[in-house]
Structure formats: structure tokens, C-alpha cells
Structure 1
Amino acid sequence: MMRAIVVDDELLVAEQIDRMLVNAGVKVLGRCVNPHEALGMAKALQPDVLFLDIEMPELSGLEIAERVYADKLDMEVVFITAYNQYALDAFRVNALDYLLKPVMEEDLQRSLERVGIRRQYRGGTVNSGGQRSPIASLFGKFALYLDGGPEPVRWVTSKCAELLAYMLLQPSEKEVSKWELIEALWPVQHAEKAGINLRSTVSRINKTLRDCGSGMALASVRNGYRLVSSDEAPAMDASELEHFVLDTIEPNSDNLDHVEQLVLRCSRPFLQEFDGVWCEPYRKQYHQYFLHLGKRLLLYYEKAETEPFKALRLADLLVEHDPYDESLREAALKLHHRTGGSQRATAYYEAYAELIHTELGALPGDALTALLRTLTS
């Protein structure tokens, strides 16, 4: 589990970020409103990430960050600021990211992902060929990171990103015909123009991959291409999710933090920015994988008698992705009853009943209705 310290001289802001971090599955080791105490707390508790308000009286967040790096403390720094003008100063002292007030959940999640990537791959060395370890994120916006760096590789065009994502999803070393690629990415273009666009896009991808030292390339083979790598294939969140599901790896006390982070990462839309028809089968497949692993994690929470609010957050997340799954609704109903009693459970049931009546012209299932009676009797 990622560990954090929050430093902000405004108590309400510090408390808000504390709550948001806890909701995101982060363990908050400490919260500090006195900037003079921040460095000592960081040294004593050794968090993975230090969330620092830039503008504080007497001692600014920038000064604290400079001392953190001068003392070679092994932690990331994310700044919190009300003004964009501090962004350059933030990166001048090697901060990983900065958040603008009021802090939004999606921005905080982005920072946590960067922290996770940096921490996971910290210490990796460049091999003798100058290549760098790649990791691809296919949930949310497609991104390729190298050596755990905070910034993804930048592509010349969106088609470069889309074509590479398509190739990453193919079986290792598979040869993909140019006709398949044209049908997937340029389905309405004339064949000759589409062929030119394909060759141009491949060329741009290979230049970008070469310039950043990724060790990957799209190699021309007969009438198509295949993705080759001088080392192991890139790590991918999609592959990791598939591995957990198909190899039936159950959540347990040893892998719990990892599974929780994986479920959270994979709750985002798959290949979010691409609208090609080719994406749809993959979206359905990985959506099912996400639900499968999420349900297994929820079952683990139930057996381990995990703190109910934490389990409820997971249940509600899964329901967002599959609102008509009554097994999920039953789990959520039990948790609403545990956390809010009969009144809250009844309100949850009635909201669901109204939803399916409006959307489907249906009633809640007998099992869910019977469960409500049992809980509220």
C-alpha cells in the first residue's frame, strides 16, 4: 500500500486531501499544518510520497522539498498550489507533480499513478545497449512510460499511439497483415491512401521508439508488421489483469495491496481516447476481467471482515460498471446496512428499484428483495 504525508497550513485542505487519499487506497502516515515540523515527520515516517502546499508562512513547500532532496530522502514530492505560476518552480526542485486547488479526484489519481510508476521502477538501470524498460498503460488514456519516468512518451499523431496500442494487444511476435491494420485504423479510406498512411505512421512510431531508447520497433514482414523487442515485452496493465484472472490468482494477505491497486487502475475506460470499432471486443473482454477480479477482491474483503466502508467503496465501484448485477447489489446492500442501518439499506434498495423500473421496466430480483426483508426485520 502506498504511504503518504500531507503538509498544508490550512487544516481543512489537509483534512480533505487526507480523506481523498484514504478513499484512493493510500495509507496516510501523518498530516501536518506546521511547515517547520514537516521535514522531521518525513524523516521519521519515510513515506512514499510527500504532498506539500507550496505557499506556507515562514517556510515554503519549495524550501522543504529542497531539503528533502538535499538529504537524499527516498520519497516523491507532489506540490499543492492555488496558482499555476508555481509549476515551473515545482519542477525546478525535481518534484514529481503538482496539483491545483481545489484538488480534483482525477488529478489526485493521476499523481498517484505517477508515484506508483516511479516507485515501482526506481533503481532500474539502462542496459548496455542504452535501452530503457517500457511499461504500457491501456486503461484510461493510452500511455507508454520508460524506466518509470513521470511523463509518457509523446507521439507525433494520435494514430501512432493507436497503432502501437493495437500491436501491443496482439500475441507476442504475431505478424499482422497490412490489410488487417488498414481495416482497423483506416477503414473508410481508399486503399492506396490508407497504405501510405500506414507506412508513414509506422515510420513515425519507429523513430519515436528509437529516439527514446525503448528497445522496441515495428518490423516489416512480408505483407505486414510485427512488434519486436530486444528484451522482454513491455509490461502492461492489461496483461497483468489477464494474468490474475486466467491464472486464477486469488487475493490474499501477501498480494492484497497489489490487487487493490490493479483493480483501481483497471476501473478506468479501456483505451479511452480511441473510437475505432476494433477497440470494442477488447473493451468487453477486459471489462469482464476487471469485474471478475473486482468480485474476487470483494469476496476476500467479506471473508477477511475488512473495514466495511472500504469494502463498500469497492462494491459501489463495481456496481458503477455493472449496475444490473444483483449479486453485486446484494453485497452492496449488506454493506449499506452495516454502515448505515435499515434506513440506509432501504433507501439503497428503493433507488435500485426505481433505476431498473425506469431503464428496464423490471423489478428487483426475489433474492435481493428477500435479503432486504431479512436485514430490516
Structure 2
Amino acid sequence: MIQALLVDDEQLALMNLELMLKEMPMVNVIGAYTDPAKAVQASAQLNPDVIFLDIEMPGLNGMMAAELLQIQCPRTKIVFLTAYNNYAVGAFELNALDYLLKPVKLERLLKTIQRLEEQKVEESADKHENKTVIRSFQSLRFERCGQPLLNIRWRTSKSQELFAYLLHNRNRFVGKNHLIEMLWPNISYKKASTLLYTTIYQVRNCLKQAEIDLLINSVSTEGGYILETDNLLIDVMEWEKGIQALPAINHDNYAEHQRLFDFYAGDYLGDYDYLWAESERQRLRSIWLHHAMGMAEFCTSSDKIPEALTVYQRVVQMYPYFEQAHFGLMKVYNSIGERAAVEERYNLLAELLNRDLSIGPPAEITNWYEEWKQLNLRKL
């Protein structure tokens, strides 16, 4: 989401620009000012990604305001608004991203927003390129510069689970007694305390040997630990932020939606039977399934039939009991005249549910299938 600040002494022009930007789902207008001095004062706290700044203003004009704004927000992009072409050279001398002629046209404004989005993605990639990444979809692993770190060797399964639990509760206090109860419930408190200290030492040593910049801070006054992850990227966080930031799927952002769909490599810590992870596992799975079904529906409505089939098939492969993905496959097969595939998919679903869960397909699917069969019989 692009955070935008608007500055124009003409109230009507300011309102028109704000209305156009609010129609764009990728933009959030965080402030609109007719007084440039107040905008400069507020800018440091608002920290916008972009400032749309009118040049011709009485008192503190746009060029002067831009210099002050760049001191307050050095990373913020400036887009100048002007009624005159001859300001362009001066605008770009101030490292402005763009300048727009007034009255601003929607089509031209969209191009500026697209440039902002592209630059934001590039800056994010540069920022993340050399950071250590912790991956926790399916299995727990580490990467740096896109390459897996192979020198992580957990001494015991308990040390791995302890680290995974601290990561799960990253940047939050986790009590010593809670860890003992979770990891060593059937051992005397004295012995379990010794095991906890030993395991914490093993985890710290393992991270140190792998040169992973993570701190496990002891909170002696409260008797517990905090894992600080400010210097690392965590795949589940980056993935969920990406899902939340993207507007509804369309032809322009389809590739990014596809990237996030593919990014989900499996359930959160799916390789381990950590009961404490189940709630988060279910939550992230629900987000992915909702996103996947939206992808499949978009592909179907956009006549991207092979892509729709691929999405539905991956969902079925990962979650065989998710009936709606089977139903989606049946409908897509029907749309391309693959009657045998419709029957095969329905029978496969019915057999799977009966064998493993002793139930039949949902009434919605069964009714659709029976009507489909009758319709096809009449065609013969």
C-alpha cells in the first residue's frame, strides 16, 4: 500500500486529486493540506511514501517546501503538481519522481502510481536481498542471499522445538515455567529447569555457529526469554503482509498473486507434530485456501482454463478433503466439455469421503452433479 500525502493551496484541486487517489486500491491518502508549512511539520510523523506537492503556492512555494520535506523524510518520493511545463527542470533537479500538469488527468496519475509501485518493489527487494530468511512453511529452515544455510544442526529435537516456539512467539515474553510444562511435563521441576538452561544454551550456540543474527534475551526478573527477530525476514510474515497489501486480483497484478500462491510451500511447520502450532497452521491455511479459490475463479472467468485447473489441482493435492476445490474442477471440466473428467472427479471425491470419513459429498455438489447428469442424458 502506497502512503500518500497531498499538498495544494487550491482546495478544489486538492479535493479532486484526493478523490482520484482514493479510487485506487493500492493508495492510502494519509493527509491533505492546503498549508505547506503544516504539511512539512506533519510529514516526519506521517512518513509518507510519496508527497504530491503543488509548486505555485504563496509564501512557502513547492520548491522550497520540497527541500524542507526531504530533510524531514529523506526516503519519501516527491511528485510535483504544476500548471506550467517550465518547472520540470527544476523539479527533477530536486530528485522528484515525477511532475504532473494540472488539471491532473486520471490516466497520467495512474502511470505515476505504477512507477511508485515498481520502485517500492525494487527497494524492498534490495533491502531484503542480503538478509537471513527463516522459512517455516512445511519445514523450519534458514536462507541467506537466496541460498539455504546447511550448517544448522539442532542438537536435539527439543532444541529445535524450543527455537520454533520462541520464533512462534517472536518479540514476546515466554515464561520459563510455561516452556518447562510444554517440553518436559513429566520430569521433576529441578531436572526440567536444568534441561531448559542446557537447551537454551544449545540453541544460542547453534545460531552463533551459523552466524545468524538472532538474540534470545533472558528476562531474569520475570523468569523467561524473548527471541528478537528485528534483523531477520520470516516467510509467513512476509507472505501474509503481501496477501493483505494486494488489491483484488486483476490482469495487472495477476503475476504477483501467482507468486504469493506459489510461495505457500505447505502448512506452517507442517513437518512437525507441534500441537501449539495448530491454531496458526489452520489460520494460515484458511488464508491460502481463500486466496487460491479467488485465483481459480479469476482464471476461470478470464478464460485462463489451464491456469484454473492448475490452481484447483494443487489445492486438491495439498488438501484432498477440501470439497470446493473438487467442485471447482468439476465445473471447469464441464465448461470445456470433458464429461468423463467430471464423472471421474465426482466419483473420486465420493469414494474418498466415504472411505476416510464415512460421509458423502455435500448436498450442493451432489445436487449439481445429478442435475448435470440429467442434462447430459437429455442431450444424448
Q: TM-score, normalised by structure 2?
A: 0.57
Distance 1:283 1:136 in 2: 16
Q: Per-residue CA shift, 1:158-195, capped at 9, x if unaligned?
A: 33332222122215x21111122222333333322222
Matches within 5 A, 1:1-377: 133-157=131-155, 158-171=157-170, 173-222=171-220, 223-229=223-229, 232-244=230-242, 249-306=247-304, 308-338=305-335, 341-372=338-369, 373-374=371-372, 377=376
Q: CA deviation at 1:136?
A: 0.9
Contact 2:243 2:260 in 1 (8 A): no
For the residue of structure 1 that corresponds to 2:212, the secondary structure is: coil
Contact 1:146 1:152 in 2 (8 A): no
Contact 1:237 1:266 in 2 (8 A): no
Superposed CA RMSD in Å reads: 3.2
Q: Per-residue CA shift, 1:23-74, capped at 9, x if unaligned?
A: xxxxxxxxxxxxxxxxxxxxxxxxxxxxxxxxxxxxxxxxxxxxxxxxxxxx
Distance 1:165 1:156 in 2: 11
Query: Which letter does structure 2 place at the counterpart of 1:363?
Result: G
Q: Per-residue CA shift, 1:229-286, capped at 9, x if unaligned?
A: 4xx3422222234334556753444543443343334242431343333232232222
From the superposition, tell whether residues 182 and 237 of structure 1 become closer, same or farther in structure 2 (CA, over 3 Å): same
From the superposition, tell whether residues 243 and 188 of structure 1 become closer, same or farther in structure 2 (CA, over 3 Å): farther
Contact 1:184 1:276 in 2 (8 A): no
Q: 2:55 aligns to what? A: none
Distance 1:133 1:184 in 2: 31
Distance 1:140 1:226 in 2: 24
Distance 1:253 1:358 in 2: 41
Q: 2:11 aligns to what? A: none
Query: Which letter does structure 1 place at the counterpart of 2:326?
Result: R
Q: TM-score, normalised by structure 1?
A: 0.57
Q: How many residues get paired?
A: 250
Distance 2:163 2:253 in 1: 30
Contact 2:239 2:263 in 1 (8 A): no
Distance 2:359 2:188 in 1: 47
Q: CA deviation at 1:152?
A: 4.0
Q: CA deviation at 1:226?
A: 0.4
From the superposition, tell whether residues 257 and 179 of structure 1 become closer, same or farther in structure 2 (CA, over 3 Å): farther
Contact 1:184 1:278 in 2 (8 A): no
From the superposition, tell whether residues 304 and 197 of structure 1 become closer, same or farther in structure 2 (CA, over 3 Å): farther
Query: Which letter does structure 2 place at the counterpart of 1:159?
Result: K
Distance 2:219 2:247 in 1: 37
For the residue of structure 2 that corresponds to 1:145, the secondary structure is: strand
Contact 2:137 2:267 in 1 (8 A): yes
Contact 1:160 1:201 in 2 (8 A): yes
Contact 1:121 1:148 in 2 (8 A): no
Query: Which letter does structure 2 place at the counterpart of 1:328?
Result: A
Query: Which letter does structure 2 place at the counterpart of 1:302?
Result: T
Distance 1:125 1:374 in 2: 51
Distance 1:325 1:156 in 2: 35
Distance 1:147 1:264 in 2: 20
For the residue of structure 1 that corresponds to 2:289, the secondary structure is: helix
Q: CA deviation at 1:346?
A: 1.4
Query: Which letter does structure 2 place at the counterpart of 1:283?
Result: R
For the residue of structure 2 that corresponds to 1:225, the secondary structure is: strand
For the residue of structure 2 that corresponds to 1:278, the secondary structure is: helix
Distance 2:362 2:154 in 1: 51
For the residue of structure 1 that corresponds to 2:215, the secondary structure is: strand
Contact 1:218 1:228 in 2 (8 A): yes
